[in-house]
Amino acid sequence: MKFYPEKPDIRRLREIIQVFWKYQFGEFLGKTKFKERLFKPLRLYFRDPEMEVDASAPERLRLAFEELGPTFIKLGQMLSTRPDMVGEEIAEELSKLQDEARPLDYREVKETIEGELKRSISDIFRDFGEDPIASASVGQVHEARLKDGRRVAVKVQRPSIEEKIRKDIIIMKYLAKLVDRNVPRLRYYNLPGIVEEFERSIFKELDYYNEANNIERFRSLFADDDMINAPRVYREYSTSRVLTMEYVEGVKLSDILKSPIKFNGKVIAKRGFECYFKQIFIHGFFHADPHPANIIVQEGGILYFIDFGMVGYIDKDFRDKLIELLISIIDYDVNGIIEEIELMGIISSETDKEALKYDIMDLFERYYGADLQRIGNIMKEFTMPRMLIRHKMEIPRNFVLLVRAISMIESIGERLDPQFNALEIAQEMVQKLIIARLNPLNIFKVDMKKIIQLEHLIGKIPQTFIKGLQVIGEGTIRIELEHKNLDELADRIERSSNRISLALLASALIIGSSMVITAELRIAPGIPYIGSLGFILSFLIGLGLLFSILKGGKYH
């Protein structure tokens, strides 16, 4: 766990507040308790912004994030994957964030590489390009050649970037808690939770070992596919701050979209979607940022994926439910959709399923026809705040990431091929998956963990069986019963039995008295002895029984 001082950097905090004020978020700040809780203690008194920014609130937010630098650019990129938190309009605008920065001086790059690899740069590389081929806020990439002539791309992290990001995260935590306490209408967004999630994400991305692991895992999953690949990683020339990879020649997909010459757009669109289908629904490990600039196309339509800083993971159980959800969407099965999202934990017992059912039917009606060719449209609706709030839904982060990835790859597919139909390709892939599941040979493909569990169970059977025989042989079998409230039930039965007995006795006395009413023995002229005595006793018993019933209650 990383250590953070409690107090934020006041100078940087003032700078952040000033930038938000500049982009006309001062009105919001002034209406909240920030004015008292934040401005006065920090002596933050700002005049109205001198410049007027003619842009919408989402655009102004993007511009503010870009000006504030690496931490806020990365935060914006993360929020662009969470329309469930910030809404579709803001998420869409933040996805346009330009992560570009002034290139580092070559001297700083050289110092970083030599400090990390503990060798002179001339001892590692035959040639090293001093000008970067790409420059971002966290790091930049240089082209080089190893001593044996292999062409490589070297990703170098900016000096002190981790310390700068750490300071900004302290401020983010401080502001998030302040907002959460003082702005009730924003509590729904759980800003402290967003900052914590961002903290985990950004520090993973800063560790280039994680990216190297992701690249190698992707390569192994598609090792048998000649059309899908990722750069080879050179571990001996890589650290947590320097990543040396195979240099991939080809054309970025972003450039092909501008001028689709020499390439078959129809083939690339289908191949890209099939690749993502396999990543999500078969492997459960996917590249979570399929931006066109992160896919390089080589001759023959070979796709190379680069930049594995952001990936998603899905376990097997969740994948199985996803496939069943996809089948329900393809079949227009509303009840099936509701059943699957309940099994996935997206809705709970508090959700009004009838209301949800009608909303999903409205979605199908809205997207009926050409729009339903994009399955991402339907799945994305479940991540929208209006659906989440109305139906008390909780969306797992990786579900949001995969929906975003599917939507992006569908959008790219439509730009490459106007006749692109994701639904048809998904149907073909689902059919193959079902056939593979039903293959009798798959019976023998048992998960290793299950085999170990079965082996433990089999190992315990002989010992358990022998113990059972010994107990039977000794005649010491004992059955223990646990009862609840049987004492109370017994008391009720006993009371009821007593009352029945008294009732029967009273009835018998009445009948007997009636039979002897004509007897000769009399108390007074016209009044028989025994008959009168019987009626008196019956009356007393009946009165006592009535009192007992009234005292004990109707059902006692």
The single residue listed with the structure tokens 């059943």 is 339
Catalytic residues: 289
Q: Is residue 90 part of a domain?
A: no
Say whether both 259 and 338 belong to one domain. Answer: yes
Domain of 354, in residue numbers: 251-444
Residues 6+ apart with CB under 8 A from 340: 321, 324, 325, 328
Say whether both 465 and 516 belong to one domain. Answer: no
Which tens digits make up the pLDDT trace of 13-30? 888 888 888 888 765 555
Q: What is the pLDDT of residue 168?
A: 93
Which tens digits make up the pLDDT trace of 238-283? 999 999 999 999 999 989 998 767 788 999 999 999 999 999 999 9
Q: In this structure, what is the dihedral angle of CA atoms 261, 267, 273, 276, given to the nearest 10 degrees? A: -90
Residues 6+ apart with CB under 8 A from 15: 68
Q: Is residue 71 part of a domain?
A: no
Within 10 A of 117 (CB to CB), how many other CB atoms are there? 18
Say whether both 149 and 294 belong to one domain. Answer: no
Say whether both 187 and 296 belong to one domain. Answer: no
Say whether both 193 and 141 belong to one domain. Answer: yes
Say whether both 357 and 214 belong to one domain. Answer: no
CA proximity to 391, closest of 353, 365, 426, 424:
353
Say whether both 410 and 284 belong to one domain. Answer: yes
**pTM for this predicted structure:** 0.73
Q: Is residue 152 part of a domain?
A: yes
DSSP designation for 99: -
Say whether both 243 and 279 belong to one domain. Answer: no
Which tens digits make up the pLDDT trace of 153-208? 999 999 989 999 999 999 999 888 887 887 777 776 678 888 888 898 899 889 99
Q: Tell me the C-alpha distance between 501 and 100, whole Å.
A: 95
Paired with 233 in beta bridges are: 245
Say whether both 201 and 284 belong to one domain. Answer: no
Q: Is residue 73 part of a domain?
A: no
Say whether both 201 and 312 belong to one domain. Answer: no
CA proximity to 236, closest of 152, 167, 168:
152
Say whether both 332 and 418 belong to one domain. Answer: yes
Within 10 A of 339 (CB to CB), how many other CB atoms are there? 16
Overall domain count for the chain: 4
Q: Tell me the C-alpha distance between 176 and 186, whole Å.
A: 10
CA proximity to 300, closest of 257, 271, 331:
271
Say whether both 396 and 409 belong to one domain. Answer: yes
CA proximity to 221, closest of 267, 273, 295, 275:
275
pLDDT-above-90 percentage for the chain? 32
Q: Tell me the C-alpha distance between 534 and 144, whole Å.
A: 120
Which tens digits make up the pLDDT trace of 70-106? 999 989 988 887 777 787 888 889 988 877 778 889 9
